[in-house]
């Protein structure tokens, strides 16, 4: 038996406390977890990176004017009006032929992304006021423009469940609206391709406790029973009033 003072005995010092061993194991697991997350993120964003390169090539070649930005939420493709290219007529929401040409160039890239990603079309205007029979404000105008862009893409077999339209009006300018050049930059369409898709409803979800009401064709729904005191609800006795006349349309100004 070797004595403890024998020089051949290795001196290993005091053993590590138990919490340090657990802490080291936790750190190792966290590192592995983040490595896996990074690998998954790179695989999921591979199609986004390819789309970003394709759009940047179009902008570089002069096929369109705009920019492409990517962050943790997804990718934003911004189309900006050029000096000789107008996406919409002033105060109107219909796509011009020039805008349709831009969409035809971009639709191939967006269609591939729509297989896995949700696409939100954003409409933006300048700050020139609008008040017409069709559009009461720039909110309505920008929403109408975004909706028409979505409808145009749906004609090209885009999946409707992946598409959405939103209007921001004049409230998200990229530059001050102090000149016609800047107002043109603020009149833009943005395609927001989201990394996280909208959650789909699970089969049978939301049906618990619901009551199904069937009304035969041509039959009027049954009227509700009168109140216990015999009074008829006010909604049934009040005389219908004609809606107020719409205010006269304001002349459309330049811009929007």
Q: How confident is the model at residue 34 (pLDDT cuts 50, 70, 90)?
A: confident
**Closest by CA position to 152, among listed 84, 103, 190, 217:** 103
DSSP string across 147-192: HHHHHHHHTTT--GGGEEEEE-TTSS-SS-SSSHHHHHHHSEEEEE
Could you tell me the CA-to-CA distances from 202 to 114, 153, 160, 205 in Å, in that order?
21, 27, 18, 5
CA dihedral 220, 221, 227, 232 (to 10 degrees): -30
pTM for the complete prediction?
A: 0.66
Tell me the pLDDT tens digit for each residue of 115-126.
Answer: 999 999 999 999
DSSP string across 47-91: HHHHHHHHHHHHHHTTS--EEEEE-SSEEEEEEE-BTTB-SB-TT
DSSP code for 69: E
Give the pLDDT of residue 15: 61
Give the pLDDT of residue 11: 53
- Mean pLDDT score, 71-85: 89
The answer to whether residue 219 scores a pLDDT higher than 80 is: no
Copy the structure tokens of residue 186: 């603020």
Q: How confident is the model at residue 230 (pLDDT cuts 50, 70, 90)?
A: very low
- Mean pLDDT score, 237-245: 47
206 backbone φψ class: left, alpha, beta (φ>0; ψ -120 to 50): left
Contact in structure between 176 and 121 (CB atoms under 8 Å): no
Q: Which CATH architecture has domain 45-194?
A: 2-Layer Sandwich (3.30)
CA dihedral 65, 183, 167, 97 (to 10 degrees): -50
Average pLDDT value over all residues in the chain: 80
Q: Which residue has the higher pLDDT, 99 or 37?
A: 99
Q: How far apart are CA 249 and CA 256, in angstroms?
A: 16
Domain segments of the chain as ranges: 45-194
Query: What value, to the nearest 5°, has the Cα angle with vertex 96 and ends 127 and 62?
Result: 90
| Strand 163-167 relative to strand 119-124, pairing | parallel
Q: Which residue has the higher pLDDT, 179 or 247?
A: 179
Copy the structure tokens of residue 98: 């020039």
Query: What value, to the nearest 5°, has the Cα angle with vertex 115 and ends 35 and 99?
Result: 120
Report the length, in residues, of the chain: 256
Give the pLDDT of residue 184: 92
175 backbone φψ class: left, alpha, beta (φ>0; ψ -120 to 50): beta
- CB-based burial label for 87 (10 Å; 0-12, 13-18, 19+): buried
Q: Which range is most confident: 54-68, 75-89, 159-173?
A: 159-173
- Mean pLDDT score, 149-172: 97
The answer to whether residue 66 scores a pLDDT higher than 80 is: yes
């Amino acid at each position: 038996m070797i004595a403890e003072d024998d020089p051949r005995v290795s001196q290993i010092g005091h053993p590590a406390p138990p919490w340090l061993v657990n802490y080291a194991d936790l750190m190792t697991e966290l590192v592995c977890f983040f490595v896996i997350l990074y690998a998954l993120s790179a695989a999921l964003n591979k199609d986004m990176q390819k789309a970003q390169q394709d759009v940047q090539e179009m902008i570089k070649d002069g096929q369109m004017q705009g920019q492409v930005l990517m962050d943790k939420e997804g990718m934003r493709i911004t189309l900006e009006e050029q000096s000789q290219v107008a996406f919409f007529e002033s105060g109107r929401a219909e796509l011009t032929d020039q805008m349709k040409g831009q969409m035809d160039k971009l639709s191939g890239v967006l269609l591939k992304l729509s297989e896995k990603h949700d696409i939100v079309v954003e409409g933006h205007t300048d700050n020139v006021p609008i008040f017409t029979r069709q559009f009461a404000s720039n909110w309505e105008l920008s929403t109408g423009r975004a909706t028409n862009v979505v409808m145009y893409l749906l004609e090209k077999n885009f999946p409707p469940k992946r598409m959405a339209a939103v209007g921001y009006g004049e409230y998200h300018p990229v530059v001050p609206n102090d000149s016609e050049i800047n107002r043109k930059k603020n009149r833009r369409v943005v395609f927001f391709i989201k990394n996280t898709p909208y959650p789909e409803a699970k089969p049978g979800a939301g049906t618990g406790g619901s009551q199904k009401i069937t009304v035969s064709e041509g039959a009027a729904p049954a009227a509700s029973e009168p109140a216990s005191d015999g009074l008829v609800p006010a909604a049934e006795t009040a005389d219908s009033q004609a809606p107020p006349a719409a205010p006269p349309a304001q002349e459309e100004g330049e811009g929007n």
